[in-house]
Amino acid sequence: MWEFLFDLVCVHLNLTEGDYFGLEYQDQRKMTVWLDLLKPTLKQIRRPKNTILRFVVKFFPPDHTQLMEELTRYFFALQIKRDLACGRLICNDTSAALMVSHIIQSEIGDFDETQSWQHLLHNKYLPDQDAIRDKITDCHRKHVGQTPAESDFQLLEIARRLEMYGVRLHPAKDREGTKLSLAVAHTGVLVFQGYTKINAFNWSKIRKLSFKRKRFLIKLRADPNAHHDTLEFAMASRDCCKIFWKICVEYHAFFRLFEEPKPKPKPILFTRGSSFRFSGRTQKQIIDYVKDSELKKVPFERKHSKILSNSSMSPQPASFRSQVPKEVIQFLVSPFILSLIYCNYAPFSFLGRFVHIYRHFWSVFNSSLSRYLNLELLCRSPASDDSPLGSPHVIVNGSGSVNGQGIGCTGVLGPGQSPEGRQLSPLTSPLLTEAGYVRNDDEDEARRKKFPTDKAYFIAKELLTTERTYLKDLQVITESFQSFVGKDEVLPDSVKNLISANYDPVYKFHQGFLKEVEQRLAQWSGRSNAHIKGDYQRIGDILLKNIQGLRQLTIHLQKHSECLVELERACRSSRKVETVCRDFEQQRVCYLPFNIFLLRPLHRLLHYKLILERLCKHYPPTHEDFRDCRAALADISEMVLQLQGAMMKMENFQKLLELKKDLTGIDNLAIHGREFIRLGCLSKLSGKGLQQRMFFLFSDSLVYTSRGMTPSNQFKVHGQLSLYGMTIRESEEEWGVPHSFTLFGQRQSVVVAASCASEMERWVEDIRMAIDLAEQSSSPSTDLLSTSLPDNSKSDSGAEQESEEELCSSRSSLERQGHRGNTTVHVCWHRNTSVSMVDFSVAVENQLSGNLLRKFKNSNGWQKLWVVFTNFSLFFYKSHQDDYPLASLPLLGYSVTVPCESENIHKDYVFKLHFKSHVYYFRSESEYTFERWMEVIRSATCSTSHSTRKDLY
């Protein structure tokens, strides 16, 4: 039953690593005893109505970084504060002053002489605090800018190095009658004289621990240098011996065993010795569980309080408590739970007892927490019978603060409200940043991690792989393009110098950046002593240093849009320049339209921002890398905000220039104020029936085309509908064509049909949005077309069609004829789908590179390839050092799934790409990279583009 109660407390606190904690109480002999969760109530607690249970730290690990969750470390910090206040954590004045200064920093923030002095006058953190008050204030001065979480981290870092850290002294005497104290730690049994450790017996040296009446015996393993193989200590009573022996058994099992010991079978007739055993998970099991399970992290952020007099450091009279409003709840649990269990234990069967107690527990737990004080949490300071400091209470108010320290919450919720509208527990709600998220075991099991390496490593590795691709893209501009146009010297010197002056410094900077990232990842994944110490298991310091350096290049980044405009002007003014640029785009190294490369540095800022956001979300605030990542994120966010306006304009301008190459029959597509919205396939209803047409939606007009049969394979414009005054009506019933709608323009009307309901919804929504934008303009737009072209073209059914293999190859026959055949427009035409400008913007952010294993549908082996995802396509290389891709796979229209059991792909982290009869399998190295590839590929497939688009709008 007690195990059930303890589990309820941990669940209510959202505490995964609850096995480090325990419930202690004072028995009738005034001895502090740990509650045995497996032992019946009546055999432990004689007077339940007068018993107080305290939820405190039971097992102190040697290093607080072994605690996997931030919430656990926060409770450990509360325990250290309690131990300092009651005089249990003994240390020199310097360490004491430093720890108290961190406590004050976490409570009131940066040093202010008057405020800090007043705060120390009204609050007692040490029994002899007045004697070292000046030292405390001197230390407090040095913590400017330190957050509460960082202060708690430093508090634990100092405490763990102290000799008395986690020590609970048990009085004893040796054989000569000398007064000593025994204690137990993760290493073994310790012997103290006063507060000085004089001996230690490691678990590896201890053969057996036992007790006989008042004698506590330590039997050591055979050692020729030892004088005695059995050490004997006398304690006050048999009960004292047994209590200490139990603690030693639990410490040994928790820190030394791999799994919980199995219970011994009970003898039938006679019992010999104690049947006590350790119950619960061992430290190794806890660490493995948290590592192997991708648990929902619940970090929390506490804010500084400016209250000088901390009510938690002095006992409150009953009159004060009676005046506390309903929304102010004491941070205590379990109203008269002991008497409840005691009274209901006998009359019921086991199941009836369980249900009865459970119902009563929760009914009282939710209604009258502040009325009964039978179970204290560790954040209470020691009671008056332990210390002259009294029994302070921790108050949690409706705004989410602990001891006056606000606790941030990311959701916009009312006090105590969960996202679903349910009342949250007063214990969980102030501690969570995600509006009181409660773990679900089924959800955790479903998301169980299979790879042991830290997720931060794979985030850093994503930075490395994408940086390699980015540097190759910069090399296309700084080396390949400049070398190619320099042969004929047709490009004006002004444009050539503008590109060189603003891209060469960026390229040189990122060469150094990439080297630093490569070195760090090599050290991180290596097996040197530095790796074991964890000195290189971070990336934030490199990111912070280089992003600060990148800010110095902002003047060059601002000029990149000018480079794009000037290059376009040069192409317009000179046919030779345009021809040279077109010829360069046919080079294998230029695997994308060249203008996309010119915008790469601006897009890369978005990638750094996303990577840093993932790191900051992954790290707890006390992680050594969190501070650098947060500072780097602030810097890159400022740069993105500064350049975002120009970036959006240039993306639209670049897209208009790209479409201009695919269209014929339009004089000037890229004019000021025109915005591209969507392109894709629709079937147009005419006298000859439904004919496939390519539609282009702009902010001022809708243009429809058919695929030409010319060597360049451009799309020939047939007509234009002005959006000014246009109306739209769904017309399936009128024409008997599924997914059809009619567009009524000023001069003509057009009936079109989409391939499916979702495609129709996307087109109708975007056209209506574009009509609204056109109506807001002052006057109708001018015609796009150079001449008015009637829709009298023949059906394209006899036109040459590319096969899927041709479309997916990097050098199709169409490209050899002088035009790249796998552009986005051609892919949409070939697969009868559409894509919007919002989808292009999403694709800019969702770029990824890395090694993948590829397998075809009917092949047996896996082929290792370097894969780059960009511009809705996968590009395949032998290695990251290759200058150009071997092949490409446009993904528009594809579906990404996980292989089913019947496909016999018995490998981890495999995803499947399929379109009609074309099936590809890809295998990644870890769960994180698997999820990232799935995420970015889904952004390029028709199955998720609509939902993504809605989120952005």
pLDDT, tens digit (0-9, with 9 covering 90-100), for 829-878: 888 888 888 888 888 888 999 999 998 888 878 899 999 999 889 999 99
Q: Is the pLDDT of residue 564 over 50?
A: yes
Tell me what pLDDT residue 440 has. 38
Residues 755, 903, single domain; the answer is no
Residues 509, 594, single domain; the answer is yes
Q: Which of 315-329, 757-771, 834-848 has the lowest mean pLDDT?
A: 315-329
Which CATH number does the domain housing residue 766 bear? 2.30.29.30
Q: Is the pLDDT of residue 762 over 50?
A: yes
Q: Which of 355-359, 383-387, 643-647 has the lowest mean pLDDT?
A: 383-387
CB 713 within 8 A of CB 826: yes
β-strand partners of 888: 875
Structure confidence at residue 309 as a pLDDT band (50, 70, 90) = very low
**How far, in Å, CA of 563 to CA of 541, rounded?**
32
**How far, in Å, CA of 555 to CA of 501, rounded?**
11
Q: Which of 185-189, 537-541, 709-713, 881-885 has the lowest mean pLDDT?
A: 709-713
Residue 211 located in a structural domain: yes
- Reported as a single tens digit per residue, the pLDDT across 432-471 is 233 233 333 333 334 444 333 688 999 999 999 999 999 9
Tell me what pLDDT residue 296 has. 54
| Strand intervals (E) in 351-501 | 375-377, 395-396, 401-402, 405-406
Which CATH number does the domain housing residue 512 bear? 1.20.900.10
Residues 684, 625, single domain; the answer is no
**How far, in Å, CA of 884 to CA of 475, rounded?**
12
Residue with tokens 């085309």: 705
Which one, of 41, 35, 70, lies nearest residue 56 by Cα? 35
Q: What does the buried/exposed string (b/e) look like for 559-572 if buried means 16 or more CB atoms within 10 Å of the residue's CB? A: bbbebbebbbebbe
Residue 951 located in a structural domain: no
Residue 74 located in a structural domain: yes
Tell me what pLDDT residue 874 has. 92
Q: Is the pLDDT of residue 594 over 80?
A: yes
- Reported as a single tens digit per residue, the pLDDT across 10-46 is 887 888 888 889 888 887 777 888 888 777 766 777 7
Tokens of 805: 């293999």
Percent of the chain with pLDDT over 90: 24
Residues 130, 244, single domain; the answer is no
Tell me what pLDDT residue 795 has. 40
- Find the domain containing 523 and state its range: 455-527+535-662
Q: Is the pLDDT of residue 609 over 90?
A: yes
Tell me what pLDDT residue 19 has. 87
Tell me what pLDDT residue 734 has. 67
Residues 771, 900, single domain; the answer is no
Torsions phi, psi for 664 (to 5 deg): -130, 140
Task: Over range 927-935, report the average pLDDT.
Answer: 92
Q: Which of 476-480, 629-633, 666-670, 883-887 has the lowest mean pLDDT?
A: 666-670
- % helix, strand, coil for the chain, step of 5: 45, 20, 40
β-strand partners of 197: 192
Which one, of 49, 23, 670, lies nearest residue 339 by Cα? 49
**How far, in Å, CA of 415 to CA of 327, rounded?**
8
For 210, counting Cβ atoms within 10 Å of its Cβ (0-12 exposed, 13-18 middle, 19+ buried), the class is: middle
Residue 809 located in a structural domain: no
> Which residue would you say has higher pLDDT here, 534 or 552?
552
Which CATH number does the domain housing residue 129 bear? 1.20.80.10
Residue 315 located in a structural domain: no
Tokens of 686: 């005419």
Task: Over range 899-916, report the average pLDDT.
Answer: 88
Residues 547, 619, single domain; the answer is yes
> Which residue would you say has higher pLDDT here, 797 or 807?
807
* Of the residues 229, 259, 289, the one at which a domain ends: 259
Q: Which of 255-264, 599-608, 675-684, 779-788 has the lowest mean pLDDT?
A: 779-788
Q: Which range, 341-345, 469-473, 659-663, 939-943, has the best average confidence (pLDDT)?
A: 469-473
**How far, in Å, CA of 661 to CA of 147, rounded?**
55
**How far, in Å, CA of 161 to CA of 271, rounded?**
43
**How far, in Å, CA of 314 to CA of 717, rounded?**
82
**How far, in Å, CA of 116 to CA of 129, rounded?**
13
Q: Is the pLDDT of residue 273 over 60?
A: no
Residue 606 located in a structural domain: yes
**How far, in Å, CA of 108 to CA of 307, rounded?**
7
Q: Which of 259-268, 569-578, 786-795 has the lowest mean pLDDT?
A: 786-795
**How far, in Å, CA of 241 to CA of 244, rounded?**
5
Tell me what pLDDT residue 302 has. 61
β-strand partners of 692: 683
Q: How far is CA 532 from each of CA 309, 451, 529, 537, rounded to the nearest angstrom?
A: 45, 18, 5, 9
What's the total number of domains in the chain? 5
State which amino acid sits at residue 727: T
**How far, in Å, CA of 790 to CA of 687, rounded?**
14
Q: Which range, 294-308, 712-726, 926-940, has the best average confidence (pLDDT)?
A: 926-940
**How far, in Å, CA of 500 to CA of 481, rounded?**
10
Tokens of 714: 């451009």
* Sheet containing 170-173, strands listed edge to edge, beginning at the edge strand earlier in sequence: 196-202, 188-193, 179-184, 170-173, 230-234, 215-220, 206-212
Which one, of 913, 934, 943, 947, lies nearest residue 848 by Cα? 934
What one-character DSSP code corresponds to residue 43? G
CB 552 within 8 A of CB 513: no
Torsions phi, psi for 676 (to 5 deg): -80, 140
Contacts of 255 (CB under 8 A, 6+ apart): 59, 61, 186, 203, 282, 283
Residues 8, 91, single domain; the answer is yes
> Which residue would you say has higher pLDDT here, 427 or 448?
448
Q: What does the buried/exposed string (b/e) look like for 345-379 if buried means 16 or more CB atoms within 10 Å of the residue's CB? A: eeeeeeeebeeebeebbeebbeeebbebbbbbbbb
Residues 633, 488, single domain; the answer is yes
Residues 713, 653, single domain; the answer is no
Residues 640, 673, single domain; the answer is no
Q: Is the pLDDT of residue 709 over 80?
A: no
- Secondary structure of residue 687 in the 3-state scheme: coil
Which one, of 414, 325, 321, lies nearest residue 424 by Cα? 414
CB 9 within 8 A of CB 22: no
- Reported as a single tens digit per residue, the pLDDT across 173-187 is 988 888 999 999 998
What one-character DSSP code corresponds to residue 183? E
Q: Is the pLDDT of residue 816 over 50?
A: no
Tell me what pLDDT residue 549 has. 92
Tell me what pLDDT residue 858 has. 80
CB 433 within 8 A of CB 441: no
Q: How far is CA 802 from each of CA 109, 813, 829, rounded to the nearest angstrom?
A: 67, 9, 11
How high does pLDDT run on average in the chain?
75
What one-character DSSP code corresponds to residue 666? B
Residue 546 located in a structural domain: yes
Residue with tokens 């920093």: 105
Q: Is the pLDDT of residue 421 over 70?
A: no
Contacts of 816 (CB under 8 A, 6+ apart): none
Residue 931 located in a structural domain: yes
- Reported as a single tens digit per residue, the pLDDT across 721-736 is 888 888 888 876 666 7
> Which residue would you say has higher pLDDT here, 322 or 93?
93
Task: Over range 252-268, report the average pLDDT.
Answer: 71
* Of the residues 776, 797, 817, the one at which a domain ends: 776
**How far, in Å, CA of 92 to CA of 82, rounded?**
17
The gap between the terminal CA atoms of the chain, to the nearest Å, is: 53
- Reported as a single tens digit per residue, the pLDDT across 325-358 is 332 222 333 333 433 333 333 333 333 343 344 4
- Helices (H), ranges, 160-293: 238-256, 283-292
Q: Which range, 380-389, 468-477, 654-663, 910-919, has the best average confidence (pLDDT)?
A: 468-477
Structure confidence at residue 951 as a pLDDT band (50, 70, 90) = very low
- Secondary structure of residue 739 in the 3-state scheme: coil
What one-character DSSP code corresponds to residue 199? E
Residues 730, 874, single domain; the answer is no
If residue 218 lies in a helix (H) or strand (E), which one and from where to where? strand 215-220
- Reported as a single tens digit per residue, the pLDDT across 203-238 is 888 888 888 888 999 888 877 666 667 888 999 888
Q: What does the buried/exposed string (b/e) look like for 479-514 if buried means 16 or more CB atoms within 10 Å of the residue's CB? A: ebbbebbeeeebbbeebbebbeebbbebbebbeebb
Residues 719, 857, single domain; the answer is no
β-strand partners of 181: 171, 192
Structure confidence at residue 822 as a pLDDT band (50, 70, 90) = low
**How far, in Å, CA of 639 to CA of 681, rounded?**
38
Q: Is the pLDDT of residue 802 over 60?
A: no
- Give 142's Cβ-side CA count (13 Å radius): 11
* Of the residues 632, 662, 692, the one at which a domain ends: 662
Tell me what pLDDT residue 204 has. 84
- Reported as a single tens digit per residue, the pLDDT across 54-98 is 889 999 998 888 888 888 888 898 899 999 988 889 889 899 999
Which one, of 426, 844, 382, lies nearest residue 597 by Cα? 844
